[in-house]
Amino acid sequence: MKQYKEIRKIYADTLRQLCINRNWYTNGDNDDYSHLLYDLANDKDNLSTEDIIEIAEDIMEHSRLSVDYIIEDIAFEVACIANVFFEEI
């Protein structure tokens, strides 16, 4: 029986568009934003749950959010934009 692994990737332009659409990341400077888009997202070979939470935490830290927002809300939105691939191992 063949075995497969799941690979999740988030591309910088997709994450950038999500932040624009949700009015997130309004308190970060260019270096902060580049870190989010490239170090935490685009350059990862396979995003784990921990990576998605780290992205969500960074977004929360650099955004003016209503008190109703919780990290799980942002993590869900981030996970929804991930591209999922399956690769035979």
Residues 6+ apart with CB under 8 A from 10: 41, 42, 44, 47, 55, 78, 81, 82, 83
The pLDDT assigned to 27 comes to 93
Tokens encoding 77 = 């939105």
Range of the domain at 26: 4-88
Tell me how many domains the chain contains. 1
| Whole-angstrom distance, CA of residue 85 vs CA of residue 36 | 22
Question: Left (φ > 0), alpha (ψ -120 to 50) or beta: where does 71 sit?
Answer: alpha
Confidence of residue 49 (pLDDT cuts 50, 70, 90): very high
Confidence of residue 66 (pLDDT cuts 50, 70, 90): confident
The pLDDT of residue 67 is above 90: no
List, for residues 3-48, the tens digit of each pLDDT value.
Answer: 999 999 999 999 999 999 999 999 989 999 999 999 999 988 899 9
Triad 39, 3, 48: Cα angle to 5°: 20
Confidence of residue 69 (pLDDT cuts 50, 70, 90): confident
State the pTM of this model: 0.91
Note whether 55 and 78 are within 8 A (CB).
Answer: yes
